[in-house]
Amino acid sequence: MEQPEPRAASWSPGVLWPSVQIALGIVVVVVGLLSDSPIGLLLSGLAALFLLPAGALQLVRRPRLEVVDGELAIKALTGTRFVPRSEVVEVRDLGIPRWGIRQHLMRIEYTDEQGREQLDVFTRADLGTDPRDVVDRLVGLGFPGRRASD
């Protein structure tokens, strides 16, 4: 007997790249502290200033996008935003030519609790998978939108 497909899903970036960023940031700090050069200390401090928070924020914002009880949960720096299915205007994929290849993005249009229109755009790095697959899954779960093949 075939099991019914679950009506929930989540997408998030992997933990490998953010962990590498944090480790590199720590290594850069140690190398900067061990160097005798003030310029080396300054440059390593600046590099660590970008690497450490970037890696930590990617780990904190997991899962980036999730379907919870028929609502989209979008995790941002300011917290998690819950968007009811009825407030989602459209979920679709965008193919953007960049550097000679087509980069795929996913856009979600919705109305927030104050009645303002919002637009969120997600990349493969945000979702941890191909955005076209996420669009297909969200449309399959009943969110309004167009599948990648449409």
Whole-model pTM? 0.72
Closest by Cα among 129, 135, 11, 130 to 63: 11
User: Cα separation of 125 and 105, whole Å?
Assistant: 10
Q: Which amino acid is at 87?
A: E
Q: Is the pLDDT of residue 2 over 60?
A: no
Q: What is the pLDDT of residues 82-102, one digit of tens each?
A: 888 888 889 998 887 778 888
